[in-house]
Amino acid sequence: MHIHILGICGTFMGGLAALAREAGHRVTGCDAGVYPPMSDQLQALGIELIEGFDADQMALQPDMYVVGNVVSRARLADGNPKFPLMEAILEAGAPYTSGPQWLSEHVLQGRHVLAVAGTHGKTTTTSMLAWVLEQAGLQPGFLVGGVPLNFGVSARLGRGKYFVIEADEYDTAFFDKRSKFVHYRPRTAILNNLEFDHADIFDDLSAIERQFHHLVRTVPGSGRVVVNGLEESLTRVLGQGCWSEVRTFGSAVSDFVAEGEPSQFQVLQAGQAVAEVQWAIGGVHNQLNALASIAAAEHVGVAPSVAAQALAAFENVKRRMEVRGSVQREGGGITVYDDFAHHPTAIRTTVNGLRRQVGQARILAIFEPRSNTMKLGTMKAQLPWSLEEADLAFCHSGGLGWDATAALLPMGAKAQVGANIDEVIAQVLAQVQPGDHLLCMSNGGFGGIHAKLLTALNG
């Protein structure tokens, strides 16, 4: 089969393309501003990438067009369609489907799917779970919305019957407004946490809870739902009905509980110590992610002690507290980190994780509110709370429709706002001291700020 993927450079669609190529299909694709890291991964696989969404791509005559949710029926200011290829597909009556639907029919069918859902930690927990199953000899397939450092790729088919997938609640496509994860039909489902997000498509938290319950409805009676016992929102989700075995983690009365610091802790199951995790990963959020992966792996026969041993060798995910470089100065080195955090809760937990790691050293939080939710200003009031443990904060305000300076006013002199990347860098350079930790947070490329900071510091 020849499939042509619209929006191929997104992490999900790029992973799908890699799976389709591995399965023997011919794969081509297009995107706007074909960009790394996914473009590099796809080109290494021999997948032809086309810049833009022009209608002349109809000449490829694929067997199926697979449409990413970046595609819409939107029109430009001059009245022309933003995605002329999609308009041509509709006019021609050519076959098309969504990415999640194609994946369900051609990859997941007949597999034991382990799906990881949640507002935060999906990518990391999916990577953990895939690595645990790999170390247990189960040779799982996986699709992750990032690049797990243990594997070096975001997706693979695997040889076993198990498939681990990051289960996103964002909508499927412009013609299918259900959450992506309802297509996956897991036998094991992790509900990691649940907060309001994606304000561009969900009206409120209850609307997202309803989608999570749609996922719960698809888990069979012999399946397992692994739930964060600390989350009232997930209690409400299960309150709408659950027909599968439930295992909880996180709270003091959960089935799986952690005792100890995030870097070294005992795992208690039903009150009994069953494993100990010692690893190089920090943060309470990652401790919870580990408990979730251990509980899910147990459902497919992996003992918690085996899972804990695998986690000791877990190397995290690219762009999750990734050290991009350091500059030596008299009095202490300056380290630059890259992290994907963008929701206020994710920013807070990321800063807290670094704080636990570096102690009293100064943390300079450098961030851009780039997600659709943050651009709308829905959670701007939470930003001072999210940055409480940072010593200084620098916000890139380009493209926002709200006043970042006003939102950060409660932080006083601890916060500065720059209208562009160069201005933010200048502000950071004016404040940085030997021994500082520069934590850059964005769900995009952040204009290459990491490399620019390192170049400026070296200069």
Note the pTM of the prediction, 2 decimals. 0.82
CB distance 249 to 227 below 8 Å: yes
Considering only residues 95 and 283, tell me which one the structure prediction assigns the higher pLDDT. Answer: 95
Residue 303 sits in the same domain as residue 382: no
Average pLDDT over residues 131-143: 97
Q: What total number of domains does the chain contain? A: 3
On whether residue 198 sits in a domain, the answer given is yes
Nearest to 452 by CA among 431, 435, 438, 436: 438
- Give the phi and the psi of residue 373 in degrees, each rounded to 5: -60, -45
Which CATH number is 199's domain given?
A: 3.40.1190.10
In whole angstroms, give the CA distance from residue 438 to residue 446: 14
Q: Look at residue 243 in the predicted model and tell me its pLDDT.
A: 97
Residue 58 and residue 183 in one domain: no
Q: What percent of the chain has pLDDT over 70?
A: 98
Q: What is the mean pLDDT of residues 215-231?
A: 96
In a domain, 288, yes or no: yes
More confidently predicted of 89 and 39: 89
- pLDDT tens digits for range 53-79: 999 999 999 999 999 999 999 999 999
Does residue 128 register a pLDDT over 70?
Answer: yes
- Look up the domain containing 94 and give its range: 2-98
Confidence of residue 37 (pLDDT cuts 50, 70, 90): low
Whether residues 445 and 328 fall in one domain: yes
252 has a pLDDT exceeding 80: yes
**For the chain, what percent of residues have pLDDT higher than 90?**
72
Quote the pLDDT of residue 199.
62
Mean of pLDDT values over 340-352? 85
Give residue 140's pLDDT.
Answer: 98
Q: Is the pLDDT of residue 146 over 80?
A: yes
The predicted model gives 401-416 an average pLDDT of 92
Question: Of 266, 289, 311, which one is at a domain's C-terminal end?
Answer: 311
Over range 77-87, report the average pLDDT.
Answer: 96
Q: Each residue of 195-212: pLDDT tens digit?
A: 877 666 677 888 999 999
Same domain, 12 and 73: yes
| Tokens linked to 409 | 């006013």
Say what the pLDDT of residue 430 is. Answer: 93
For residue 105, being part of any structural domain is answered with no
Residue 94: inside a domain: yes
- The answer on pLDDT for 36 being more than 70 is no
| Domain shared by 296 and 326, yes or no | no
Q: With bands split at pLDDT 50, 70 and 90, how would you rate the model's confidence at 341? A: confident
Residue 35 pLDDT: 62
Contact 268, 259 (CB under 8 A): yes
Q: What is the pLDDT at residue 206?
A: 87
Is 104 a domain residue?
A: no
Residues 107-133 have a mean pLDDT of 95
In a domain, 155, yes or no: yes
Among residues 291, 311, 331, the one where a domain terminates is: 311
- Asked if 291 and 250 touch (Cβ cutoff 8 Å), the reply is yes
Would residue 133 count as lying in a domain? yes
Q: Please tell me which residue, 372 or 142, carries the higher pLDDT value.
A: 142
The two beta strands, 48-51 and 112-117, are unpaired
280 CB-contact burial (10 Å; exposed 0-12 / middle 13-18 / buried 19+):
exposed
Asked whether residue 317 is domain-assigned, the answer is no
314: pLDDT strictly greater than 90: yes
Q: Which two tokens stand for residue 113?
A: 């799917």
User: Which CATH number belongs to the domain containing residue 370 in this structure?
Assistant: 3.90.190.20
Tell me, what's the pLDDT at 445? 78
* pLDDT confidence of residue 249: 96
Lookup result for tokens 């975001």: 154
Same domain, 230 and 347: no
Same domain for 267 and 220: yes
Considering the domain architecture, whether residues 163 and 79 belong to the same structural domain is answered as: no
The domain boundary residue, chosen from 45, 73, 98:
98
Rounded to the nearest integer, the mean pLDDT of the chain is 92
Kindly state the average pLDDT of the residues 395-412.
90
Q: Per mean pLDDT, which of 33-42, 88-97, 345-354 is the most reliable?
A: 88-97
Residues 326 and 303 in one domain: no
State whether 63 and 130 are in the same domain: no
194 & 278 share domain:
yes
C-alpha to C-alpha distance for 432 and 454, rounded to whole angstroms: 12
Residue 229 and residue 53: Cα distance in Å, rounded?
45
Q: In terms of domains, do 237 and 358 share one? A: no
Using the predicted structure, report yes or no on whether residue 220 has a pLDDT greater than 70: yes
Q: What is the CATH number of the domain that holds 24?
A: 3.40.50.720
Confidence of residue 172 (pLDDT cuts 50, 70, 90): very high
